[in-house]
Amino acid sequence: MMMLLDVGNTRLSGSLFRDNVSLCQFSCPTGDINNSRDLRLFLEKNFRKNRIEPAEINSVSCSSVVPALHSCLYEGCLNFLGVVPFFLDGTMETGLNLMVENREKLGPDRIAAAAGAKECFPGENLIVADFGTATTVDCVNDKGDFLGGVILPGFNTAQESLRKNTARLPGIQIKKPARYCGRNTEEALCSGIYLMQLGAVKEGVIRMSKEHFFKTSPLIIGTGGFSSLFQGEELFDHIIPELIFKGIYRIGTMNRRNEKCK
């Protein structure tokens, strides 16, 4: 069984995979994990909840955009599971041809989401939108070339920036607005942040499609915590919440070398 970790700036999420099937998922705020003991307690709690024994885990693959946590992830996995974790990056075999500058700096979350989309839809031109702390919209062609994309502030990042940098704008709960012409400050913020994401992704899809997919329309895939807000907007062909885990599993399997150490 492989344990997958998706370490974002806001949340740390895990999943246990066997034969390319997710058996369970669990998560916590990234800020809750400050050392290897925190990680062990988090894993122990969720292993008990899902009736998983640590000895069943024979490999660990991580997509992490928080380098400061790598040492505690390494120590925690080694001490609790007896496994050296594999950290995904752009220098290794990913199943994609990364057509970008400085591939070693390409976000592992973007690589994993693209690889997961390619696993689900081989031979298709794809645009993948991932809604997290940042929102990313990336292109992958039918040959498996990762062509690049766009990055913009995510839902919570945008609303936190407004809350912290203005005197009177409050924090809000992120949700799909009930109406687009807000009748109070909270409604106007909710609508504005939602429409910013919707409009940016729509415009990104249009312009990147013209650049790369002018002969055929690509499949548009949504993933990440806020992707479900766009149900009914006819924005996505498919919404796949676990897409990044599929990508981490695929890349971890290609590079598997972190079997049990004890």
Active site residue 109: yes
Q: What angle do CA 147, 149, 152 make, to 5 degrees?
A: 170
Closest CA to 223 of 125, 143, 124, 154: 154
The two tokens of residue 14 are 């895990």
Which DSSP symbol is given to 125? -
CA distance 99 to 208: 15
Catalytic position from the list 38, 89, 109, 145: 109
Rounded distance between C-alpha atoms, residue 163 and residue 65, angstroms:
24
Distance, first Cα to last Cα, the chain = 16
Q: Which residues are catalytic?
A: 109
